A and B are shown apart, each in its own frame.
Chain A
Amino acid sequence: MLKIDGVWKTFGGITALMDVSFQVKKGEIKALIGPNGAGKTTLFNVISGVYKPDRGAITFEEKTISNLNPVKIAHLGISRTFQNVELFGRMTVLENVMVGRHIKSKAGFFSSGLRLPGMINEDREIRRLSEEILEYVGLKDKKDYLAGDMPIGSQRILEIARALATEPKMLLLDEPASGLNDAETRDLSLFIKKLRDEKDITVLLVEHDMGLVMDISDNIVVLNFGEKIAEGTPNEIRNNKHVIDAYLGEEDLF
């Protein structure tokens, strides 16, 4: 579904990504792991169009996307969350999800300003669907809270809910468990599996919580200093010598 083919990215003199290639199959939950500074978030930014790769190509459903901007990529059905949460803090929980419907709706300045019938129906539908999504993720009773006032755990779920509103084929989750406690992390791993199973969404995630990664991933890619050093099932990765070397000193890793 998503194919990363020989991607390079440098910033000044620093090579953040060095000839990275791998594929994500439809319906798969794939994890991207590696020590800090390995290039995981950079790769996410390249996939979602924030950066352009210096070399190499990214294709999504047979379409080259490495030259597209984030808006076009969102339209193709890739949605993402952010390591430092990019919610709309002064808007309500419900409004945040409603913004997720932006690409699936079309009312412009005039039809909105004059509240033409088409716009009113569309807006009602946006609200109904958004409430439905909040119900699905368990945030419906918080719909009128300001997003910025929510605890971090709920913010991360809300960010996923907002991404779901775009009806994505693929979700990129950047450290979804960061800042969550153990119970919340367990809920999150169930939730991610549920998304794949019920909504048929392919998931690529960056995560430091190895418990979560080993629990939910079908497949894992390991980056170290911008290079892919291993790829395989959780079991293969657990026993991979390169991976153990890269994480040297972290004996309790798995």
Chain B
Amino acid sequence: MVKKHLLAYIVFILIIIFFPFFVKSSYTLSIAIFAGINALIAMGLSLLMGYAGQVSLGQAGFYGIGAYVSAILSLKFGIPPVLSALIAALVASVAAIILAIPALKLKGHYLAVATLGFGEIIYVILNELGPGGPSGFGDIPHISLLGYKFISATDHFYLIWIIVFLLIIFSFNIIDSRIGRAMRAIHDSETGSSSMGVDVPLLKTKVFVLSAVYASIAGSFYAHYVTFISPSTFSLFHSVLILTMVVIGGASSLWGAVVGAIIITALPEALRKFEELDVLIYGLILTLSLLFLRKGIVPTFIDKIKGKR
């Protein structure tokens, strides 16, 4: 663990531990679970975008692979959900590698379009070949770990947020290592990085694979939590939503991805009481935060604390 994050880690784990004690409504708890799922995908995209400087609009594709592969393996072949989730992550990695070889040669918007195309392909495949077609399928078994079966919302809340917690430590450790420095170096100058012996395409591919694994784990968790999946969850809309979370929260910080995921997931629910005005207010909040918090919520907040600008 890197010391400079220690305080944030402690605060974060305390919030996770005590949240279910204060929130009794299972509805609110389920929103918090979805926020955790989204935070996981957003963290992967944040590593890719904020640190390595690559945009992806295909994260929903990996999310879908994680959900479908794990659900099918556990439902039809009786593989325990944790194992099936690992296999799904492997499948997502292979898909990411195949996509990365041509796509990471592209820069900027071209890469975004290529990943967008990938997401659409997965979406079409799920619709055409997935069990139940567009209407999806249910009866997916719950996760069980060492004989303990995760059924209640509280169980799932702790499981997803502990996964998020562990992976945020894992991710920050990577950022504070030679790998992370090389990622940020690529972001600033590819020419300079390769002259320092950093294999730019290889490193981009690895980060892309890591982001796919995060999204896949989120997808598997989703399938075994909701126990019913259909393709519409994994459409382009979700990729854009994840991108919005990273941008709103602040792409230059992993905490931004988590905060962005919580806000974007919870905001529509919080705005329900405004009835038909909710979409309008939602749009207004996003627009204003992009106008006034250019770097995103978390980096702006950190700058304020440090008294910069």
How distant is the Cα of A75 from the Cα of B196 in the complex, in angstroms?
9
Name the residue in B1, B181, B182, B195 with the highest tally of chain A Cβ atoms < 10 Å from its Cβ: B195
Mask: chain B, 174-215; 1 = CB below 8 Å from A; 0 = not: 100111111011011101111111110000001000100000
Tell me if B197 and A103 are in contact (CB < 8 A).
yes
How distant is the Cα of A162 from the Cα of B193 in the complex, in angstroms?
11
Tell me if A102 and B170 are in contact (CB < 8 A).
no
| Chain B residues with CB below 8 A from A75, complex form | 197
Within 8 A of A (CB), among B148-189: 170-171, 173-174, 177-182, 184-185, 187-189
| Chain A residues with CB below 8 A from B210, complex form | 109
- B304 CB → nearest A CB, Å: 19
Tell me if A119 and B196 are in contact (CB < 8 A).
no
- B171, B179, B181: the one contacting A95 at CB < 8 Å is B181
The tally of residues in B whose CB lies under 8 Å from a CB in A reads: 28
| Chain A residues with CB below 8 A from B198, complex form | 71, 99, 102
| Chain A residues with CB below 8 A from B171, complex form | 113
Mask: chain A, 77-117; 1 = CB below 8 Å from B; 0 = not: 00110100011111100010011111101011100111100
Tell me if A109 and B206 are in contact (CB < 8 A).
yes
Tell me if B177 and A102 are in contact (CB < 8 A).
no
- A60 CB → nearest B CB, Å: 15
How distant is the Cα of A50 from the Cα of B212 in the complex, in angstroms?
31
| Chain A residues with CB below 8 A from B206, complex form | 109
- B86 CB → nearest A CB, Å: 15
Contacts A109-B206, A113-B170, A113-B173; A98 near B178 (Cβ below 8 A): yes
Tell me if A87 and B192 are in contact (CB < 8 A).
yes
| Chain B residues with CB below 8 A from A50, complex form | 191
| Chain A residues with CB below 8 A from B2, complex form | 115
Residue A166 CB within 8 A of the other chain: yes
| Chain B residues with CB below 8 A from A91, complex form | 181, 184-185, 188
Q: Which residue of B lies closest to A103 (CB)?
A: B197
Name the residue in A95, A100, A109 with the highest tally of chain B Cβ atoms < 10 Å from its Cβ: A109
| Chain A residues with CB below 8 A from B178, complex form | 98-99, 101-102, 105, 107, 112, 122-123, 126
Q: Which residue of A lies closest to B206 (CB)?
A: A109
Tell me if A115 and B189 are in contact (CB < 8 A).
no
How distant is the Cα of A48 from the Cα of B197 in the complex, in angstroms?
11
- B1, B184, B193, B194: the one contacting A115 at CB < 8 Å is B1
Q: Which residue of B lies closest to A101 (CB)?
A: B178
Within 8 A of A (CB), among B39-63: none
| Chain A residues with CB below 8 A from B182, complex form | 99, 102
How distant is the Cα of A75 from the Cα of B173 in the complex, in angstroms?
26
| Chain B residues with CB below 8 A from A70, complex form | 194-195
Tell me if A80 and B181 are in contact (CB < 8 A).
no
Q: Which residue of B lies closest to A86 (CB)?
A: B192
How distant is the Cα of A89 from the Cα of B194 in the complex, in angstroms?
16
| Chain B residues with CB below 8 A from A166, complex form | 196-197
Q: Which 9 A-B pairs have the closest CB atoms?
A: A86-B192, A103-B197, A112-B177, A74-B197, A88-B188, A113-B170, A86-B189, A70-B194, A88-B185
7 cross-chain CB contacts under 8 A: A71-B199, A88-B187, A95-B181, A99-B196, A102-B181, A105-B178, A166-B196
Report B's interface with A, CB cutoff 8 A. 1-2, 170-171, 173-174, 177-182, 184-185, 187-189, 191-199, 206, 210
Q: Apart from A75-B197, A88-B192, A166-B197, what are 9 other A-B pairs with CB-CB below 8 Å?
A: A74-B195, A74-B196, A87-B189, A89-B188, A91-B181, A99-B181, A109-B179, A109-B210, A123-B177
